[in-house]
Structure 1
Amino acid sequence: MAAPAPRFLDLADPAFDVTASAVHDARDESWYAETPYGWAVLRYEEGTALLKDRRFQQGNAKWPDQNGIHDGPWREWWQQTLLSIEGDDHLRLRRLLGPAFRMKTIEAMRPRFQALANELIDGFAGRGEVEFVSEFAEPYSSRILCMLLGLPDDEWPQVAHWADDLGKSFGINVRADLPRIEAALEGLSGYIEQVIADRQAQPQDDLVSTLIAAHEGSDALSRHELSVALVFLAFAGMETTRNQLGLALQTFLAHPDQWALLAEQPELGGRAVEEVMRVAPTVTWVTREAIEDVDLHGLRIPAGGIVQVLSHSIGTDERAMAEHAPFDIRIDDRPLHSGFGGGVHHCLGHFVARTDMAVALPLLAKRMPDVEADGPGEWLPVSGNTGPVRFPLRFTPE
């Protein structure tokens, strides 16, 4: 008897939900499905193997064309980001940018992250209610970004506004959002250019000055590469952490026993981050492009073919997770999630995101132990990059 035809998952539809039962049903039938872009990998074993497969490259360079955007400043900039560059140029940029994101450097900032989280919680703890995105997730992620880049703390709202609009680059409505995206790109690029000029004139102990030093070394970043990299780091670092914090709260609301455990054992903050990113990642898929004709478990993918590894689907695949509870922050030997990508394109700033969320979540659990949703809120499509736009919460005031 012939195997059933693979299901079609319309990832490009804003109403499509990558966490829905239709995806799980497709995963039960096959390790892959077809999509408007090519194919989606649904199971853990095949997904993690593909992310390490040298017959594939990142594939994000095709994202503008897939959305009908064939020219313009955003497309030109997108092609030059770390997401799109491949081969020796990609490795060279990672080598020059990497030292600014060492674990030791980020760990030293942990007390500052903790102080910031408590400061923000102080602002609403007495009210017993909070709009979580605007009052915590966005200022927390944005002000940490300002710390890293050495930007004035009071400039975070403008940086956050640009980053929010530029973050729509990762959404499935990118073509409709293009005017806002390009306006944000122009604003943030001009701002970063001024920051670079200021640090060249007067270096400080911050990430920008560190990267300028790399720019002035023998194997140097060009001024343009430095600007492109900093703009990308600025928006990607803010937008993804903000979204992931909101998704973390949503996940813990469904598991109040785990929220209570996190409040009692704050040392579980790191595991909590990994577990949340396994079951509720803001990056709902990780793209790869075949660089040659590939036969993958009987599926022929031609050179140039696009494959998306669905992060939630592989992270909740019972074939890999069967011996564990569905969500448990005590487990320290979970199979690795794909929330930070994989292979040579593994997220450069993952230490920052892991550390700042591991600091924030236990503090929130301790100070809002009985938190619950105060209405449905407003959410981005659950395809592309996802997360809350508005997320009202209520709890017993301190």
Structure 2
Amino acid sequence: MSKAFTPRMIAGLRPFVRTRARQLAERLAAVAECEFVEDFANPLPLAVLSEMLGVPPEDHGVFHTWTTDIGLVFSLALGGDVVTRVESALVGLDEYIAALMARKKAAPAGDLISALVAAHQDDPLISTEHLRNLIVTMVFAAHDTTRHQLANAMVAFAEHPAQWRLLGSRPELADRAVDEVMRWLPSSPTIYRFAAQDFEYQGLSITEGTFLTMCVTAAQRDPRVFRDGATFDITVAREAPLLQFGAGPHHCLGVALAKAELAEALPALAARLAAPAFAGPFTWRPPVGIHGPNTLPLRFGPA
């Protein structure tokens, strides 16, 4: 089934991403201030996700609510209405995806769900429930992480305006800029692993099976691994891989799509707008799970 999620499909989406990013950038250029999360970081990955999966435009609003609330699954310990929101989103999205799969089976189109449903018919080892769960997980991952990574990128560039101006004048640096913002301020700042065997780390004994939480952000600024790791610089080709996407058979399935979205969005913004500046205070989601600003008030000006 992974064959449906191919480089060719990503390449086919890039013109759509580019056009949508430029349209949203024009809207930002028309206002003195914006709330970047709702005005750009939310609608871009949501539009791309809907285009990829075949979600009709009239469903984008409720789809947005579900994908946003599912991202709170990492914040259950905060209490309040978080559990209720996550449960409601899972039920709503699960039912919606089931109905959408049925529609795609009856009338296939050129979208990912149609491809997955067709592949499922040829693979009896994968149940309909497993396929539905895969799509629900993909929906959550493709929207929430990319939304926060876009917002995190703006935080990084607001704090390093010279780097923004450099990207605006040198759009060929887009791919390095994407890797650098993901290194500097990742939307997944922690990763979780179980120890595969007993070992000792700097005097700390770790037994096999121990659940470990590791800080990606600190590790990716370590100058022993990343040359000048404490410096944000989009011109540097970093040799060490990013940690938040995993490795081997568990390497993130959607990383190519996320990078494609940012690689189109960042130069589109930098070519049209002056460096971002904070237009007011903002708060952050908890630094566990998916991390980024809840809101991000920014000021831009014409380049």
- TM-score calculated relative to the size of structure 1: 0.72
Go from structure 1 to structure 2 and tell me whether the alpha carbon gap of 1:125 and 1:351 turns closer, same or farther (over 3 Å shift): same
Matched residue type, 1:151: V
Deviations 1:53-108 (A, max 9, x none): xxxxxxxxxxxxxxxxxxxxxxxxxxxxxxxxxxxxxxxxxxx2x22222221012
Partner of 2:120: 215
Q: Give the drift of 1:175.
A: 5.2
Q: Does 2:178 match 1:273?
A: yes
Letter of the 1:245 partner, please give it: L
Q: Is the 8 A contact 2:32 2:300 kept in 1?
A: yes
Contact 1:163–1:184 (CA<8 Å) still a contact in 2? yes
Partners of 2:105 and 2:118 within 8 A in 1:
no
Q: TM-score, normalised by structure 2?
A: 0.94
Q: Is the 8 A contact 1:128 1:397 kept in 2?
A: no
Equivalent position of 1:121 in the other structure: 25
- Structure 1 vs Structure 2: percent identity of aligned residues? 37
| Counterpart contact for 1:172–1:384, Cα < 8 Å | no
Verify: 1:170 aligned to 2:81, yes or no. Answer: no
What residue number does 1:242 align with? 147
With over 3 angstroms needed to count, the CA separation of the structure-2 counterparts of 1:171 and 1:284, relative to structure 1, is farther
Identify the residue that residue 218 of structure 2 maps to in structure 1: 313
Q: Deviations over 1:219-265 (max 9, x none)?
A: 54210011101111111110000000000000011111110111111
| Counterpart residue number, 2:300 | 395
- Distance in 2, matches of 1:122 and 1:133, equals 16
The residue aligned with 1:288 is: 193
SS across alignment from 1:378: coil
| 1:146 alignment partner AA | S
Partners of 2:32 and 2:301 within 8 A in 1: yes
Contact 1:214 1:221 (C-alpha < 8 Å) held by counterparts: no
**2:26 is equivalent to residue 112 of structure 1:** no
Render the CA deviation track for 1:174-227: whole Å, top value 9, x for unaligned: 654111100110111111011000001111111001111221114542100111
**Could you tell me how far 1:365 is from its partner in structure 2?**
1.1
CA distance in 2, matches of 1:245, 1:328: 17
Letter in 2 for 1:380: R
* 1:24-51 per-position Cα deviation (integer Å, ceiling 9, x unaligned): xxxxxxxxxxxxxxxxxxxxxxxxxxxx
1:318 aligned counterpart, secondary structure: coil
Instruction: Give the Cα–Cα distance (whole angstroms) in 1 for the partners of residues 125 and 65 of structure 2.
Output: 31
Match of 1:188? 93
Q: Which amino acid aligns with 1:363?
A: A
In structure 1, what is the Cα distance between the partners aligned to 2:55 and 2:228? 46
Q: Does the 8 A contact of 2:34 with 2:298 survive in 1? A: yes
Which among 332, 340, 343 is matched to residue 237 of structure 2? 332
CA contact (8 A) 2:191 2:216 kept: yes
Among 28, 36, 43, the alignment partner of 1:132 is: 36
Which runs of structure 2 are paired with 1:348-387 in the superposition (5 Å)?
348-387=253-292
How far did 1:109 drift? Answer: 1.3
102, 105, 108: which is aligned to 1:203?
A: 108
**Counterparts of 2:50 and 2:275 in 1: how far apart (Å)?**
31
Aligned pairs for 1:27-106 (under 5 A) are: 96=1, 98-106=2-10
Aligned to 2:207: 302
Residue type matched to 1:376 in 2?
P
Over the residues paired in the alignment, what is the CA RMSD in angstroms?
1.8
Residue 285 of structure 1, CA deviation = 0.8
Residue number among 53, 56, 81 corresponding to 1:149 in the alignment: 53
Question: Conserved in 2, the CA contact under 8 Å of 1:168 and 1:174?
Answer: no
Q: Which residue of 2 aligns with 1:37?
A: none
Following the alignment from structure 2 to structure 1, what is the Cα–Cα distance between the partners of residues 117 and 291? 33
More divergent stretch after superposition (305-314 vs 315-324): 315-324
1:368 is matched by which residue type in structure 2? L
Answer yes or no: is the 8 Å Cα contact 1:192–1:227 preserved in 2.
yes
Call closer, same or farther: CA 1:229–1:174 in 2, change over 3 Å. Answer: farther
Counterpart of 1:190 in structure 2: which amino acid?
E
Between Structure 1 and Structure 2, whose CA radius of gyration is higher? 1
Unpaired segments ≥5 residues, structure 1: 1-95
Moved more, 243-252 or 112-121: 112-121
Distance 1:174 1:217, change over 3 A: farther
Q: SS state of the match for residue 328, structure 1? A: coil
Aligned partner of residue 77 in structure 2, secondary structure = coil
- 1:382 Cα offset (Å): 2.7
